[in-house]
Amino acid sequence: MSFEPPAPGEETAAEVECPCLEGGRRRFPARAVRFRPAVYGVAVRDGKVLLGRSVFTGLLDIPGGAVEPWELLEEGLRREFREETGVEPEPLELFHFSESFFAIYGHPFHSLRFYFLVRVPEDATFTPQRTEITDLQWIDIRTVMESQFAPGDLDILRKALERASRWERP
């Protein structure tokens, strides 16, 4: 199978529909969409995962966010996790990738999301970044309704729990 780029002046998609972080959906000109790589750190301890509550959506959220153009993925992961939790993570394994379109404050993005298992110190004291998350807790995801998570996050967290057993310390 080969890919033929569009001829000069030919458009492949005129518009892209994006769910908006602040609610609803909106169509944007395809040329306005920008790539947004992001990294997320899933910390697992005793069958629970470390989650915050998003100030944007009110949903449970995995610590992480956008990678700066000058950062490698693990650098962005360490920075974002530290900013949102106040704790330096130890990246263990890149275990999941997903992509989608979304918009925030009228700006459309093609989101490329990389998920890492991370380890945090046993005695860590977490300090949530109040501009993004309201609190941080170790949560047993089996006790939380699916509607409390962004679409797809619950499956990612289940996958993380399965993978985490490989990294448990004796």
* Domain spanning 16-167, CATH architecture: Alpha-Beta Complex (3.90)
The band of 149, judged by pLDDT with boundaries at 50, 70 and 90, is very high
Report percent pLDDT > 70 for the chain: 91
- In tens, the pLDDT along 59-91 reads 999 999 999 999 999 999 999 999 999 999 999
- In tens, the pLDDT along 113-126 reads 999 999 999 999 99
Write down the domain spans for the chain.
Answer: 16-167
pTM score > 0.75 for this model? yes
Size (the chain), residues:
170
Q: CB of 80 within 8 A of CB of 39?
A: yes
Rounded distance between C-alpha atoms, residue 41 and residue 160, angstroms: 10
What are the phi and psi torsion angles at 79 (to 5°)?
A: -65, -50
Please report the DSSP string for 40-99 in residue order. EEEEEETTEEEEEEETTTSSEE-SEEEPPTT--HHHHHHHHHHHHHSS--EEEEEEEEEE
